[in-house]
Amino acid sequence: MGEIKEKAEYCLNCKTKPCTKGCPLENNIPEFIAEVKQGDIKKAYQILSKTTVLQPICGLICPHMSQCQGNCVRRFKGEPTSIGEMEAYIGRKAIEENIPFEEKKQNKNGKKVAVVGGGPAGLTCSAFLARKGYEVTIFEKHEKLRRHFISWHSRISFKS
């Protein structure tokens, strides 16, 4: 935690949020980093969970230098803030510590949706539809996703 907190301290917490503007998901980056500075990983995770459900994956595979980190004002006089590294850390800790999503539960709307493919886009789409009350079935040829994702969203089922 010490190294991640040190990386968070490097953030200037800009009022204009150029990093957020560079993020395709519009993650509230300064807000989640502020929570990392305070040592509150659970709160940081909840902030990120408003706009993404795959923090560990996005933290590792997103092209940060052309998105959030590429818009960080720190890049002009040195290295940008390590946003991706912090996001991946938060996601890993959430899984390790079984931190739940804290979200307003919407009633089921009685509508069913099928999503083909359980990759990052299919999982994200399914999660946000489930948040809005849809009953979602993901059709995926691999069964491994079930263990990691089904516990997050009870309205999502998988068919192999």
pLDDT digits (tens, 9 = 90+) for 123-134: 888 888 988 889
Alpha-carbon span 31 to 27, nearest angstrom: 9
Count other Cβ atoms within 10 Å, centred on residue 62.
Answer: 22
CA geometry: angle at 47 spanning 154 and 1, to 5°?
105
Q: Which residues pair with 30 in a beta bridge?
A: none
pLDDT digits (tens, 9 = 90+) for 20-72: 999 988 999 999 999 999 999 999 999 998 888 887 788 888 899 999 999 99
Alpha-carbon distance of 152 to 154, in angstroms, equals 7
Is pTM, for the whole model, over 0.75?
yes
